[in-house]
Chain A
Amino acid sequence: MKIDWSRNETLVALVILGFCVAAAVSDPGFLSISTLTDLLRGGIVLGIFAVAALIVLISGGIDVSFTAVAAFTMYVTAMILNAAAPWMPWWAALGFGMGVGACLGAFNGVLIAFFGLPTLIVTLGTMSIFRGTMLTFIGQKQITTLPPGMRDFGRMMLLRGENADGSFYSLHGAFAVTVLVVILTWAILHHTMLGRQIFAIGGSSESARRIGINVRQVQFFVYIYVGALAGLAGIIHASMARVANPFDLVGLELSVIAAVVLGGARLAGGHGTLTGTILGVALIVLVRNSLIVLGIPSTWQSVTIGCLILIGTGLPAWQAKRAAARAA
Chain B
Amino acid sequence: MPALQRILSTTEGRLAVIAFGVFIAMALLSPDKFLSVQNLTSMAFQFPEFAILALAMTITMLTGGIDLSVVGIANMTAIIAALILTNVTGSGDGWAVLALALCVSMVVGMLAGLFNGILIAKLGLPPILATLGSGLIFTGIAIAMTGGSAVMGFPVATAWIGNSTVLGIPTPVIVFALLALGVSLVLTRTGFGIKLRMFGTNPLAARYAAVNIDAMLIKVYIFSGALAATSGMVVMSRANSAKADYGSSYLLLAVLIAVLGGVNPYGGYGRVIGVILAVLSMQFLSSGMNMLQVSNFARELIWGSLLIFVMIMNTWRARRA
Contact = CB atoms under 8 A, between A and B. Distances in A.
A91 interface: no
B303 A303 contact: no
B90 interface: no
B138 to A, nearest CB: 8
Contacts of A121: 255, 259, 265, 307, 311
A132 B302 contact: yes
A267 B295 CA distance: 36
B137 A129 contact: no
A273 interface: no
Given A136-B301, A254-B68, A304-B140, A129 B265 contact: no
Contact of A307 (B128, B137, B256, B308): B137
A136 B304 CA distance: 13
B315 A115 contact: yes
A271 to B, nearest CB: 13
A59 to B, nearest CB: 16
B281 interface: no
A87 interface: no
A95 interface: no
A125 interface: yes
Contacts of A317: 123-126
A303 B301 contact: no
Contacts of B147: 299
A180 interface: no
B143 interface: yes
B101 interface: no
B137 A302 contact: yes
A118 B266 contact: yes
B133 A309 contact: yes
A124 B132 CA distance: 15
B44 interface: no
A300 B244 CA distance: 13
Interface string B129-158: 110111111111101100110000000000
With a 10 A CB-CB cut-off, give which of B130, B135, B144, B148 has the most chain A CB atoms.
B144
A305 B136 CA distance: 7
Interface in B269-321: 294-295, 297-305, 307-308, 311-312, 315
Q: Is the interface of A mostly helix, strand, loop or mixed?
A: helix
A129 B306 CA distance: 10
Interface residues of B, number: 46
B212 interface: no
Nearest to A307: B137
A26 to B, nearest CB: 20
Interface in A127-163: 127-129, 131-136, 140
A126 B297 contact: no
Given A302-B139, A310-B133, A125 B125 contact: no
A261 interface: yes
Given A127-B252, A318-B123, A303 B133 contact: no
B302 A111 contact: no
Contact of B295 (A111, A135, A300): A135
A299 B143 contact: yes
Nearest to A321: B124
Contacts of B295: 135-136, 140
A181 B140 CA distance: 32
Contacts of B138: 306
A316 to B, nearest CB: 9
Contact of A131 (B124, B297, B302, B307): B297
Given A117-B315, A132-B304, A306-B134, A267 B297 contact: no
Given A117-B311, A299-B148, A314-B130, 8 more contacts: A62-B128, A122-B311, A127-B304, A129-B304, A131-B300, A140-B295, A302-B140, A310-B133
Interface of B: 68, 119, 123-126, 128-130, 132-141, 143-144, 147-148, 248, 252, 255-256, 259, 265-266, 294-295, 297-305, 307-308, 311-312, 315
Q: List the 5 closest A-B pairs by CB distance, nearest first.
A: A132-B301, A128-B304, A306-B136, A303-B140, A135-B297
Interface of A: 62, 111, 115-118, 120-122, 124-129, 131-136, 140, 251, 254, 257-258, 261, 267, 297, 299-310, 313-314, 317-318, 320-321
